[in-house]
Amino acid sequence: MKRTLLSLLVATSIAHADGLTSIAKTELNYEDIADAAAWINGDTQWLITTQEGDGFAIFDKDGKKITADNSKETAGADIRYGVQHGDKSIDVVAFGRPDDGAIGFYQITGNSDAAYRELGELAVDFDPEVVCLGKNSTTGELYVNASEGDNLLHQYKLQFDGKTISSILTKDGKAEPVRQINVGGEISGCVVDDQTRTLYIAEQDVGIWQYGAEPENIKDRVLLDVVVPLGHLKEVEGIDMLYRPDGKGYLVIADEGAGIVIYERDSGKYVNTIKAEGFEEHKGLALAPDAIWLMNSELDEPIYERIEAADFAKAAGITLDDAVSVGTLGATDLHLVSAQGETEAVDNKGDAADDSAIWVNPQDASQSLIIATDKKGGLLAYDLDGKQIQYLEEGRPNNVDIRQGVKLGEKTYDLAAATNRDANTVTLYHIVAGETPISKLTLTGDNTKDGELISAVDEVYGLCMFQAKDGTPYVFANGKNGVTEQWKISTGEAGLVGEKVRELKVGSQPEGCVTDDDSETLYVGEEDVAIWTFDAKESGSTEATLFAKVDGKNLVADVEGITLYAPQSGNKYLIASSQGNNSYSIYNVADKSYVGSFAIKGDDTAGLDGASDTDGVEVKAVALGDKYPQGLFIAQDFYNIDKDYAQEKQNFKFVGWDKIVESFGDKLK
């Protein structure tokens, strides 16, 4: 997710926040006060504060002390709800423990007599002060970020075994980060927006940065706002999120010089700066759905004060309705499956891996191959363990598809076709078992150049093959302008010939496509709009029929790769990469009904990462050895990391169809 620096205007006035006064104050004073986190469970609302020198304390919503623990120095505080092990689900608070070189975890129980329970600690080799938690709302995976010194933020991936929380990576008894972020200047706060998977980091004298929240979501950082005179900030101290029930949110900053600064999370737009009565400076805050807790450090012994969310919304000029807790955000209906395998990384950096196709070895299906594209360099062949067998370094192939046992003249081919963006052509290949399974075929005739078919679409993108009932092979290739060309492959005097037989059209950029040879139906994904079907026959109608709409829920733009699970008997399913929410949507072909969506998560014990931001997908309803008894699903993965969470070049992830079926229970049969 990228946002630009939207807030280039100087804050010219501070709203006079009349009536923005507190209704409760924490009853205990401390010499110093650090961060706080608000916890809510029905009517029970607690504030958990850290007191630098004096441990932590828990207050009820009237500011009355429930309990305090002075045994360890604490700094920074953040909460996540519903951390799970089996059917056990707990709410977790994390503190930095600078004196001990540790990050401590506690369960918040909601029971005043035993308000918290220790969940262990992460030993680190620095003194963590700023701490924030993040929970991937798709996979439920939990991360903690903690600052070292002035400018480094370490990120740890956590595991909960039912009793304690620990780091998934350790070395010599210390927790090993899965990611390190060098912010540049002094880090004064951080918060993770689980909904958009964004990590906001406050660099005290610079402004607010946005980062991808996890190692599998790292894009270039973006500056949301900066200090005066270019922006609205002066000295950022605290940062937190407010979530609205309609899926929108606000980012709220406590700025020592400026006041409380508010941004619309979704547009990145600056909203307002306000100050509460009786507060000279705003140095810290903790947000709950119905209350804003603000640190008041003007007193000799600072406290937190509670302001009604409705009063805050009014003063800030924002619509809050009934704000919701971060704890409700994990409610997705996604089915989760773990990656079972992955290919070796492609050769080129950046967004290079794109699409794949499975070649079934007719002699021994366990020796089948994955033919895949590196759209910056060539075509690859991998075995079912993901080992690279061949790299045919040539052109910039974008999408690839296969039809096997195709008779052309006297010969039978296992044909592969790819769109090649170097020359805006369609290239044909022949796949054979052996050390170099991919070999290029040379086409002849009017429409060819260097043995490739010259496409007239505006930049070739998607591609899929079709074999008609009479055995004739075709290639569909589409481009930016929405046009899909249909090419017929046949034999001529001098060899193989390609002939463009017709054009089909959708309104905007298509890419993913697949053909159901049985029903002679072509499916085309128009990235921002819908999946359409066409009659695939050369003589068929060119009219598009709606199959599934991009609705922002079941199918979230872009629609990328689409593929068909077509077993010998039983239901046929269309699967589309719903790139916008990192999942794969399944439709029953018979009645176009939406069955559900799944996501591919990592398997840390196997050293495998999950798949996200996927372009091409492929599935084959054929048993491919013991590991994939009901067939194999393949997804391109934007963020490939190794077992130690080091970034690698992109690759493709493997999941057995049986595991997908398992995750759906009876819904997918």
Contact residues for Ca ion, defined by CB under 5 A = 216, 351, 354-355, 357, 401, 511, 558, 609, 615, 637, 639-640
CB-nearer residue toward Ca ion: 198 or 640: 640
Query: Minimum distance between the CB of residue 609 and Ca ion, rounded to whole angstroms?
Result: 4
CA dist 239 and 235 (Å) reads 12
Query: Closer to Ca ion at the Cβ: 325 or 481?
Result: 481
Between 210 and 356, CB nearer to Ca ion: 356
**Cα distance between residue 380 and residue 392, in whole Å:** 6
Q: Which helix (H) or strand (E) holds 663?
A: helix 657-664
Given the complex with Ca ion, which of 203 and 216 has the nearer CB atom?
A: 216
**Measured from the CB of residue 25, what is the shortest distance to Ca ion in angstroms?**
47
118 or 351: CB nearest Ca ion: 351
How far apart CA 307 and CA 291 sit, in angstroms, is 6
CA dihedral 581→582→583→585, nearest 10 degrees, is 50
Q: For residue 199, give the H/E element and its range.
A: strand 198-203
Enumerate helices (H) and strands (E) in the chain, giving the number of each: 2, 57
| Residue 471: CB minimum distance to Ca ion, A | 21
* For Ca ion, the closer CB: 274 or 599: 599
Identity of the residue, 267 or 508, whose beta carbon is nearer to Ca ion in the bound complex: 508
Q: Where do we find the tokens 């409705």?
A: 310
Residue 351 or 518: which CB sits closer to Ca ion?
Answer: 351
Q: What is d(CA 258, CA 274) in angstroms, rounded to the nearest whole number?
A: 8
Give me the sign of the Cα torsion angle 468, 469, 470, 471.
positive
Cα separation values, 579 from 141, 442, 502, 553, 649, Å? 20, 35, 30, 12, 19
CA distances for 130 relative to 17, 213, 238, 287, 295, angstroms: 29, 16, 10, 17, 16
- Phi, psi dihedral angles at 348 (to 5 degrees): -100, 150
In the bound complex, what is the minimum distance in angstroms from residue 174's beta carbon to Ca ion? 24
Is residue 359 exposed (0-12), middle (13-18) or buried (19+ Cβ within 10 Å)? buried
Nearer to Ca ion, 270 or 476 (CB): 476
For residues 463 and 334, what is the distance between their CA atoms, to the nearest angstrom?
A: 28
Least CB distance from residue 358 to Ca ion, whole Å? 9
Which of residues 201 and 370 has its CB atom nearest to Ca ion in the complex?
370
Shortest separation between residue 83's beta carbon and Ca ion, angstroms: 22
Q: Name the minimum Å distance from CB 560 to Ca ion.
A: 5
133-148 CB burial, b ≥16 within 10 A, e <16: bbbbbbbbbbbbbbbb
Nearer to Ca ion among residue 91 and residue 401 (C-beta): 401
Least CB distance to Ca ion at residue 339 (A):
8
Q: How far apart are CB 296 and Ca ion at their closest, in Å?
A: 44
Instruction: List the structure tokens of 574.
Output: 């269309």
Q: How far is the CB of 422 from Ca ion (least distance, A)?
A: 15
- What's the chain's Rg over C-alpha atoms? 28
Residue 314: partners with Cβ closer than 8 Å, 6 or more residues away: 19
Minimum distance, C-beta of residue 111 to Ca ion, in the bound complex (Å):
40
- Tell me which residue of 198, 167, 175 sits closest to 604, measured CA to CA: 167
- CA nearest 50: which of 25, 80, 71, 21? 71
